[in-house]
């Protein structure tokens, strides 16, 4: 089946022609009947010459689809910028929740202060008491805190 991103079948991108199942070769069909003898050789040579162009067009279609998906995602993405010195709340993990609190317990720890931006979207936090937290925290697990 043709892929949505390229518009071509993987077989045709590799071998330069559509796949023919053995039943079509054994049984006389219109598809195989037209392709026989020297005319088949000429059409096969022409297909092989056009394989590079076909692959390039499939690559262009694939890149275009990825760019469209990226634009669609970026339109709806909520950009949250946090900087060093901001106070945030850190989401509690299942392990850090107190089982005695039940489902009505708090879902956030904090406030914590951002000390260092470790990498893109990852931060090193410090508790209000001045104790540095042992692990980096991803921005998806943080919420801006206003005093």
> Rounded to 5 degrees, what are φ and ψ at 87?
-100, 135
> Which residues in 37-62 are b (16+ Cβ under 10 Å) and which e?
eeeeeeeeeeeeeeeeebbeebeebb
Give the tens place of pLDDT for each residue, 70-105: 999 989 888 788 889 999 999 998 888 888 988 888
Query: Token digits for 92?
Result: 């509690």
Which pLDDT belongs to residue 142?
A: 93
Chain segment 2-50, per-residue pLDDT in tens? 666 777 777 777 777 666 666 655 666 665 555 556 777 777 777 777 8
Q: How would you class 21 by CB atoms within 10 Å of its CB: exposed for 0-12, middle for 13-18, buried for 19 or more?
A: exposed
Whether pTM exceeds 0.75? no
């Amino acid at each position: 089946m043709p892929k949505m991103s390229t518009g071509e079948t993987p077989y045709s991108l590799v071998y330069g022609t559509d796949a023919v199942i053995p039943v079509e070769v054994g049984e006389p069909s219109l598809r195989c009947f037209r392709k026989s003898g020297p005319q088949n050789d000429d059409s096969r040579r022409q297909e092989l010459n056009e394989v590079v162009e076909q692959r390039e067009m499939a690559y262009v279609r694939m890149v275009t689809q990825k760019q469209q998906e990226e634009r669609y995602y970026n339109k709806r993405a909520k950009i949250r910028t946090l900087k060093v010195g901001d106070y945030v709340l850190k989401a509690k993990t299942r392990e850090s929740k107190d089982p005695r609190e039940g489902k009505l317990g708090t879902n956030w720890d904090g406030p914590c202060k951002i000390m260092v931006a470790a990498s893109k979207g990852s931060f090193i936090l410090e508790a209000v008491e001045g104790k540095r937290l042992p692990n980096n925290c991803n921005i998806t697990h943080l919420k801006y805190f206003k005093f």
